[in-house]
Chain A
Amino acid sequence: MQQHPYFMSSNRNAKLVMLFSLAALLLTFPLLGILGEGQSFLGIPNWYIYIFVVWLVIILFLRRVVHQKED
């Protein structure tokens, strides 16, 4: 059966939805609040590093998934 173009990249679509949920979870409370407490790294608070690193990682993953060849 020929597949509808909308469903052809279903693998990518599933990954994107997963990434969306993960980003929404990691970048909101309560996870943000948990990392608020704790030590600093080179004087930079942990939460500051956490937010920007998670943010960057999500962007890099997004780039990977969006550019992957349709399968």
Chain B
Amino acid sequence: MSEASIIFISIGYLCLLFAIAYWMDRRSRKGKSITNNPYIYGLSLAIYCTAWTFYGSVGKAASSGLDFLPIYLGPTIMACLWWFVLRKMIYISKSQRIASIADFISARYGKSTFLGILVTIIAATCIIPYISIQLKAVAVSYDLLKHSGNIAWSADDALLVPFYQDTAWYITIILAVFTILFGTRKLDPNERHDGLVAAVVFESIFKLVAFLAIGIFVTFGVFDGFGDIFRQAAEKAAIAETIFIDQTDMDGWNWFWLILISMLASLLLPRQFHIAVVENYKVDHIKQASWIFPLYLLIINIFVLPIAIGGMLKFGDSTNADMFVLSLPLLENKEVLALFVAIGGFSASTSMVIVAITALGIMISNNFVLPFLLNSSTIKGSAEIDISGRLLGIRRLSVVVVLVIAYGYFRFVSAKYSLVSIGLISFAGVAQFAPVLIGGMYWKRATKNGAIAALIVGFLVWAFCLPLPTLAEVGLLPQRFVEEGLFGISWLNSYHLFGTNNMSSVAHGVFWSLLFNSITYVVVSLYTSSNPLEITQADLFVDIYKYKEGSSDYEVIRRKANVNEIRSLLNRILGVKRTTNLLNQYAKQHQIDWNKVEVANEDLIRFAETNLAGAIGSASAKTILNSVVKVDPISLEEMFKILEQTQEIIQYNKQLEEKSTELQATTQQLQQANEQLKALDELKADFISTITHELRTPITSIKSLANILQDNPELENQQQYSYLGIIVNESERIARLVNQVLDLERMRRIDWQQEMQEVDLSELVQNTYLSLSTLMDNKQIKHSCLLASHSIKVLGVEDKLKQALVNLISNAIKFCDPEQGIIKIELQQR
């Protein structure tokens, strides 16, 4: 096939991609976006399938049978947990405007700048080789097409031409342009890149169709269906021993570790994080995506084994198994099909590269470059210059630098390796984020120091076990340390750390790096403490569902700033137009007038910080805001004040409780008194009815006798006198009765308790006796008074006692017969 037609068609394909992205961006700017759709979201996640899947799976199957499959089973298993893990990641990221995995980890551990840098370095180290193998796949596939399947050709030939004659170089440039146009269009990555997503979805569909086309062609065109292929394979011992699960020496250990790292990679790879979290429109889209994505993986894998067997049957060992999907149709002289498949592979590579460098570009500019620039005059400058353009420029430059390094890596290293082996090393590297990121979402106690230590340890062990030996094999490092162990120490061997045997290099590397990583994470976290910001962020991440409804009023740090300073800061970084929009929106929501507000409160500062974080990363946003914000950490005094207030409240509570108990007692007493009163009232009623009855008898007799006297004036004197005598008697009785009632009433009214005092009874009796003795003498009544020799003291009311005595004695005088009676008064103590 002529080189011109290959290049012409590829450029045509890229133009189509540009057109789709451009059209979608315009639509979304008009508010008619169609990427806000769960199916689009699910298909965009298929960016997981790269040239590794398209070419590499077949190559892997041809060399080690089913070992290509765990990479796709892992994400399927993981998808069952998306509803918990991915949903939580999205909620957290949206609430903090997180734009990359570096930002996520940095924000979780107190917006640490250092962690952001560390994660960016690790991610770049893992992903740049991964990007380079995509470029390699493109280059190799083109050269293969050019030579029309000349099987004597090898990948090394690509390196013989200088880079300016190399197709891969020009493709690299075009991809950089595409990414700059559609992946770095907006400063805040949280404002989605609809064009980018649309292109990715188009490529996802295209690569699936292309792969199914070649799969169907090989299975049903070259061979006679699945059964035929497997039967032919079974007849050849060499193939059966590689492919057939019952004849290989496959072990579950390796399988397990491959599943584990691919589970983690499907969420933690920077491009997966970008598509799944940053470009997510609606959390509910996870529902569809969690079955569409695994289904996509299943479909694209059905034909891998048949193609691999077909290639092995047709070529044996004579050609690069990674390129079976192209060499098979070329062998059958189906050049158009081969070209179509090559474009499919091209789409798999380009979509991965575009999104991966977009994600890396955000990370490098926000978390790596900006922290170093923050002190420079560019950002701190007092002049009112809009530097949002410059920030985007940094991001675009990062994209170009990453691509150039990836291209260089391809020229010098990747060319010598299969697609899958480098891909797996990247997966294992990215898996190092898992303890720190997933642990940080569920474990509040995890500290920044724990995270830093874990990442460094995990990264070093990973680097020692996986990429370093491959670099040594290429000749970039001395071969000796792989054979004899580091510094000649045999148990520091990259493939047999601490003497471990019987593990594939990937399983070995993943096992040791993740083991050291997690142990360091837990132990260092337990032995170090967190600063207030870390605690706040940890709470926000772990309990995101609590905060989702509204912001909390739980503040450890209080900040203050000048509104104008905040405004000019936002102007510089986000641009005047966006700043004005944001602040007006804020003013509307909180009903404030910017002309009247001078001091920004914590809420406004947080609003500014979150929006800055979207544009430049949370760590940089924190640092840059600190230049205008005065931090008011809670002082010891205030702490005491709060404590005191709490104490007072507790005291007050106690008092209230006591009062309430008292009140209860009083109520009870009142109730008792009320009952007593009721009883008394009844008694009184009884008393009155008795008394009136008593009174009525004498009154009746007085009345009737008086009537008789009135009606009979001529009654005998004797009779009259006797009647009058009865009347007098009865009147006296009435008077007595009335006096008794009065006394009773008086007695009741006395407050005995108050007037009680010690009274000398002997003296009292003697005095009373003396005062009445003349009266008795006058009536000629005999009388005597015998008192005890000593004084007798009692508690009582003196007047009342005297009154009682006088009453007693005068009664005695009144009713005493002077001739026979004798009045004796005696006082004795018993």
Contact indicator A6/B545 (Cβ below 8 Å): yes
CB pair B259 A27 closer than 8 Å: yes
Contact indicator B227/A13 (Cβ below 8 Å): no
Q: Which residues of A contact B290 (CB under 8 A)?
A: 62, 66
B535 close to chain A: CB less than 8 A: no
Contact flags B677-721 to A (C-beta < 8 A → 1, else 0):
000000000000000000000000000000000000000000000
Residues facing A in B43-98 (CB within 8 A) are: 66, 69, 73, 76-77, 79-81, 83-84
Most buried by B among A13, A17, A19, A55: A55
Complex-state Cα separation, A64 to B66, whole angstroms: 29
Provide the residues of chain B in CB contact with A16, threshold 8 Å.
Answer: 80-81, 83-84
B245 within 8 A of A: yes
Whether A45 lies near B230 (C-beta < 8 A) is: yes
Known: A44-B227, A59-B291. A28 touches B246 (CB 8 A): no
Identity of the chain A residue whose Cβ is nearest the Cβ of B253 in the assembled complex: A29
- A62 in contact with B245 given A13-B83, A20-B80 (CB within 8 Å): no
A36 and B636 alpha carbons, distance in the complex (Å) = 69
Question: Which residues of B from 221 to 265 have beta carbons under 8 Å from A?
Answer: 226-228, 230-231, 244-246, 250-252, 255-256, 259
**Cβ A45 vs Cβ B256 within 8 A:** no
Query: How far is it, in angstroms, between the C-alpha of A19 and the C-alpha of B79 when the chains are bound?
Result: 10
Q: Does B526 contact A (CB under 8 A)?
A: no
CB pair B305 A48 closer than 8 Å: yes
B230-A40 in contact (CB<8A): yes
Question: For residue B240, which residue of chain A has the nearest CB?
Answer: A45
Tally of contact residues, B, Cβ under 8 A: 35
Chain A residues, Cβ within 8 Å of B256 = 28-29
Candidate in A5, A6, A48, A59 with the most chain B CB atoms within 10 angstroms: A59
Mark interface residues in B248-289 (1 if CB within 8 Å of A CB, else 0): 001110011001000000000000000000000000001100
Interface SS, A side? helix
Q: Which residues of A contact B294 (CB under 8 A)?
A: 55, 58-59, 62
Chain A: minimal CB distance from B549 (Å): 8
Q: Which chain B residues border A63 with CB–CB below 8 Å? A: 291
**Which B residues are in CB contact (< 8 Å) with A51?**
66, 69
Contact check: which of A42, A44, A62 meets B80 at CB < 8 Å?
A: A62
Chain A minimum-CB-distance residue to B305: A48
Q: How far is the CA of A1 from the CA of B68 in the complex (A)?
A: 50
Q: Please report the C-alpha to C-alpha distance between residue A14 and residue B58 in the assembled complex, in whole angstroms.
A: 37
Bound CA–CA A42/B250 (angstroms): 25
Residues 1-51 (chain A) with a chain B CB within 8 angstroms: 4-6, 12-13, 16-17, 19-20, 23-24, 27-30, 32-33, 36-37, 40, 42-45, 47-48, 51
Residue of B nearest to A47 (CB): B245
Assembly CA distance A52 to B73 (angstroms): 10
In the assembled complex, the CB of B23 is this many whole angstroms from the nearest CB of chain A, namely: 31
A20 proximity list for chain B (CB < 8 A): 77, 80-81
Instruction: Choose from B80, B245, B246, B305 the contact partner of A19 (Cβ within 8 Å).
Output: B80
Closest Cβ neighbor of A7 among chain B residues: B545
- Distance to closest chain A CB from B811 (angstroms): 80
Residues in chain A near residue B66, CB distance under 8 A: 51
Distance in Å: Cβ of B757 to nearest Cβ of chain A? 66
Contact among B83, B244, B252, B291 with A28 in the assembled complex (CB-CB below 8 Å): B252
Residue B808 is within 8 A (CB to CB) of chain A in the complex: no
Nearest CB of chain A from residue B443's CB, rounded to whole Å: 17
Contact residue among B227, B252, B291 (Cβ-Cβ distance under 8 Å from A42):
B227
How far does the alpha carbon of A36 sit from the alpha carbon of B251 in the complex, in Å? 12
Please, which residue of chain B has its CB at the minimum distance from the CB of A27? Answer: B73
Cβ of B631 under 8 Å from chain A? no
Q: Is B295 an interface residue (CB 8 A)?
A: yes
Cα(A66)–Cα(B288), bound, Å: 8
Contact of B251 among A6, A13, A29 (CB under 8 A): A29
Nearest B residue to A44, CB-CB: B226
List chain B residues, Cβ under 8 A from A52: 298, 302
- Contact call A30/B545, Cβ cutoff below 8 A: no
Q: How far is the CA of A12 from the CA of B244 in the complex (A)?
A: 38
| Contact for A62 among B244, B259, B291, B305, CB less than 8 A | B291
Q: Which residue of A lies closest to B290 (CB)?
A: A66
* Residues in chain A near residue B246, CB distance under 8 A: 36-37, 47
**Chain A residues within an 8 Å CB radius of B295:** 59
The CA-CA distance from A16 to B286 in the complex, in Å, is 13
Whether B230 pairs with A30 at a CB distance below 8 angstroms is no
Question: Which residue of chain A has the shortest Cβ distance to B74 in the bound complex?
Answer: A27
Docked complex Cα distance between A52 and B302 (Å): 8
Residues of B within 8 A of A32 (CB): 245, 252, 255
Q: B499 CB to closest chain A CB, in angstroms?
A: 24
CA distance A36 to B84 in the complex (A): 34
Instruction: Return the contact of B298 from the options A12, A23, A55 (Cβ within 8 A).
Output: A55
Q: How far is the CA of A56 from the CA of B73 in the complex (A)?
A: 11
- Smallest distance from the beta carbon of B438 to chain A beta carbons, Å? 14
Closest to A63 in B: B291
Question: Within 8 Å CB of B245, what residues of A?
Answer: 32-33, 36, 45, 47
Q: How far is the CA of A62 from the CA of B251 in the complex (A)?
A: 28
| B76→A28 contact, CB < 8 A | no
Q: Which of B633-679 contact A (CB under 8 A)?
A: none
A-side contacts of B298, CB under 8 Å = 52, 55-56, 59
How many Å from the CB of B211 to the closest CB on chain A? Answer: 16
Q: Please measure, in the bound complex, the distance between the C-alpha atom of A51 and the C-alpha atom of B246, giving whole angstroms.
A: 14
Flag if B80 contacts A33 (CB, 8 Å): no
Complex contact B230–A44 (CB within 8 A): yes
Find chain B residues with CB under 8 A from A67 CB: 287
Contacts of A62 in B (CB 8 A): 79-80, 290-291, 294
Asked whether A43 and B228 contact (CB < 8 A) given A6-B545, A13-B84, A67-B287, the answer is: yes
Q: How far is the CA of A28 from the CA of B298 in the complex (A)?
A: 16
Q: Which residue of B lies closest to A64 (CB)?
A: B291
Partner of B76, one of A4, A42, A59: A59
Q: In whole angstroms, what is the CA distance A30 to B252 when docked?
A: 7
Interchain CA distance A24-B252 in the complex, whole Å: 12
CA distance A58 to B298 in the complex (A): 11
Q: List 12 A-B contacts (CB under 8 A).
A: A16-B83, A17-B81, A28-B255, A30-B252, A32-B252, A32-B255, A33-B252, A44-B230, A47-B245, A56-B298, A66-B286, A66-B291
Taking A55-B298, A62-B80 as known contacts, 12 extra A-B pairs with beta carbons closer than 8 A to each other, sorted by chain A number, are A27-B76, A27-B77, A28-B255, A33-B250, A36-B246, A52-B298, A52-B302, A55-B73, A59-B291, A60-B291, A62-B294, A66-B287
